[in-house]
Amino acid sequence: MTRTPKISLIKGDGIGIDVAEAALAVTSAALKHSGAVAPNIQEIKAGAGYYAETGRDIEPDGEERAGEADAIFLGAIGLPAIRHKDGTEISPHLRLRDRYQLYAGIRPVKAYPNAPQRLADPRAEGIDMIILRESTEGLFYTAAVHNRAEIVPNVEVRDIMRISRATTEKLHEFAFQLAEKRKERGKSGRLTCVDKANVFTSQAFFRQIFDEVKAAHPTVETSYNYVDAMALDLVRKPWEFDVMVMENMFGDILSDLCGGLVGGMGMAACGEIGDTIGLFQPAHGSAPDIMGQDKANPLAAILSGGLMLDYIGEKTGVGGYEDAGALVDKAVDLGFERNALRPMEFGGDMGTKAVTETVIELLEEVA
Residue 283 lies inside a defined structural domain of this protein: yes
* Neighbour tally for 187: CB within 10 Å: 15
Q: How far is CA 358 from CA 60, 328, 340, in A?
A: 38, 12, 7
In-domain check, residue 364: yes
Last residue of a domain, one of 195, 229, 262: 262
Q: Which amino acid makes up residue 282? A: P
Together in a domain, 11 and 94: yes
Q: How many residues does the chain have?
A: 367
Please check whether residue 135 is in contact with residue 283, taking contact to mean a CB–CB distance below 8 angstroms: no
**pTM (2 d.p.):** 0.93
Under 8 Å between Cβ of 246 and 168: no
**Do 71 and 149 fall within a single domain?**
no
Is the domain of 293 the same as that of 367? Answer: yes
The answer to whether 124 and 239 are in contact (CB under 8 A) is: yes
Domain harbouring 60, CATH code: 3.40.718.10
Cα 216 from Cα 225, distance rounded (Å): 21
pLDDT attached to residue 144: 58
Segments forming the whole domain that contains residue 95: 1-102+274-367
The number of domains in the chain is: 2
Cβ 78 vs Cβ 138: under 8 Å? no
User: Which own/partner pairs from 55-63 qualify as long-range (CB within 8 Å, at least 24 positions apart)?
Assistant: 57/90, 57/91, 57/92, 58/10, 58/92, 62/10, 62/92, 63/92, 63/95, 63/96, 63/99
Per-residue pLDDT of the chain (367 residues; tens, 9 = 90+): 578 999 999 999 999 999 999 999 999 999 999 999 999 999 999 999 999 999 999 999 999 999 999 999 999 999 999 998 878 888 899 889 989 999 999 999 999 999 988 898 999 999 999 999 999 999 988 875 556 788 898 999 888 899 999 999 999 999 999 999 999 999 999 999 999 999 999 999 999 999 999 999 999 999 999 999 999 999 999 999 999 999 999 999 999 999 989 988 889 999 999 999 999 999 999 999 999 999 999 999 999 999 999 999 999 999 999 999 999 999 999 999 999 999 999 999 999 999 999 999 999 999 9
